[in-house]
Amino acid sequence: MAEVVVTDLVKKFGTETLAVDNISFTVAEGEFVTLLGPSGCGKTTTLRCIAGLEIPDDGEISIGGELFTSGSKGVCLPPEKRHLGMVFQSYAIWPHMSVAENVAYGLQAQGASRNEARGKVDKALELVGLSGLGGRNATKLSGGQQQRVSLARAVAYNPRVLLFDEPLSNLDAKLRERMRLELVNLVKELKMTALYVTHDQAEAMVMSDRIIIMKDGRIQQVGDPHSTYNEPTNSFVADFIGVTNIIEGSAEEKNSGGLLVDVPKLSAKILCGAGLDREIGKGAKVLVTVRPEYIELHAPDSDGANRLEGVVDKAVYLGQSWDCLIRVGDTDLRVHVRGDEPIEPGKRVTMYILPERCVVLKD
Ligand code: ATP
């Protein structure tokens, strides 16, 4: 199995669009990595450069130590010599072929004999839970089954790396949720290396060993789901992954508990325990983020930092928790409160923001 190494990759379309703006990342052997970001941020273009379907303007791509693309060395291996498996949103299934013929297509194109192909097709169909459906016309299957056919086709010839471009986007919400787990379990079972593209942050969180968050062709942050959620480095990542509050303030002193930030809009001082891996001078303007579930509706009795008074503006019951907007001065804070005790709009509340969950952002 292979390791993907992308170094200083650049891809432009015409003179106007810098789709991929000098990005570098790796995917380790057996790792499941996701490129996550909003529409147009360059995820698909990056994947297509790796597959050999786009020719980059600059940078290098190698897989398993073999150089696939290098602008400076004039190397660009054609797609069929890369031995990568691709699964697309559109399934890309041949409508005139049976399920088995669809899966066998790539194998035969690569020179496998009929017998050899048959064995591999049966194995691949079994892996994706479609045993016995090989003779069926591929277009007579449900969306979920068609996507399994394209997955079977991708894994059948044991590719070096599996590349996925929003493969679950056409499925309904329930099936999509189930397929996420099935897909990642299958990839892990086969011990394959996978690079997955999605704009769905929940999908990325559930499936990935690591997430690469992109915006405007550039990488914003790379990390495992836990660290990207709990320690976003900038306001884009904080806002894109999950729901959050972003608050402006100015730095005061640092102490053993973190950095004390003055937040005039909330008439409060907030002690921030995370995002402090850099020098922040006294008086510097900073942005602080805190997730709604890290603001509690009970505060210690003291008047210390991180204690806020507010009034419930809206409260929506979600089953396991309440999703509230709580007005503090002119600012609304989003707060999630566990339990089903009713929270009435207009109620005065005292809140406490957990210091260790307050993250100082880089920009
Ligand atoms: P989506 O989630 O919508 O698929 P994406 O993050 O995958 O978006 P890309 O498809 O990689 O984004 O597109 C990045 C940028 O490059 C966009 O501005 C897009 O319009 C542009 N682009 C992509 N392909 C082409 C092309 N063939 N010709 C011209 N511009 C393109």
- In the block, residue with structure tokens 């891809």: 11
| Cα 146 to ligand 1 centre (Å) | 25
Q: What local confidence, expressed as pLDDT, does residue 2 receive?
A: 55
Is residue 258 within 6 Å of ligand 1 at its C-beta? no
Topology annotation, domain 4-235: Rossmann fold (3.40.50)
Nearest protein CA to atom 3 of ligand 1, as residue = 39
Ligand 1 centroid to Cα of residue 49, in Å, is 12
pLDDT of residue 341: 87
Q: Is 41 in the pocket of ligand 1 (CB under 6 A)?
A: yes
pLDDT at 179: 86
Residues forming CATH 2.40.50.140 domain(s) in the chain? 244-361
- 8 A C-beta contact, residue 31 and residue 209: yes
CB of 45 closer than 6 angstroms to any ligand 1 atom: yes
Q: What is the pLDDT of residue 354?
A: 94
Residue 28: the pLDDT is 97
329 pocket-lining for ligand 1 (C-beta < 6 Å) = no
Q: 19: Cβ below 6 Å to ligand 1?
A: yes
Antiparallel, parallel or unpaired: β 210-215 and 32-36: parallel
- Among residues 39, 54, 40, the alpha carbon closest in space to that of 9 is found at 54
Question: What pLDDT is attached to residue 116?
Answer: 82
CA–centroid distance, residue 32 to ligand 1 (Å): 23
Please tell me the predicted confidence (pLDDT) of residue 89. Answer: 83
Task: Provide the H-helix boundaries in 76-172.
Answer: 99-109, 114-127, 143-156
Question: Between 2.40.50.140, 3.40.50.300, 3.40.50.1100, 3.40.50.720, what CATH number should domain 244-361 receive?
Answer: 2.40.50.140
Determine the atom of ligand 1 nearest the C-alpha atom of 20. 14
pLDDT at 291: 97
Report the pLDDT value the prediction gives residue 117, as an integer from 0 to 100: 84
- DSSP code of 275? S
Bridge-partner residues for 7, per DSSP?
60
* Cβ atoms of residues 112 and 106 within 8 Å: no
Is the Cβ atom of 39 under 6 angstroms away from ligand 1?
yes
Find out whether the beta carbon of 15 lies less than 6 Å from any atom of ligand 1.
Answer: no
Q: Where in the chain is the domain with CATH 3.40.50.300?
A: 4-235
Q: How far is the CA of 44 from the centre of ligand 1 (A)?
A: 7
Question: Which pLDDT score, from 0 to 100, does residue 302 have?
Answer: 67
Pocket test for ligand 1, best of 12, 17, 196 (most atoms within 8 A of CB): 17
Q: What's the 236 CA to ligand 1 centre distance in angstroms? A: 20
pLDDT for the residue 175: 84
The reply to whether ligand 1 has any atom less than 6 angstroms from the CB of 40 is yes
Q: Residue 5 C-alpha to ligand 1 middle, in angstroms?
A: 22
H or E segment and range at residue 249: strand 245-255
Under-70 pLDDT residues of the chain: 1-2, 301-303
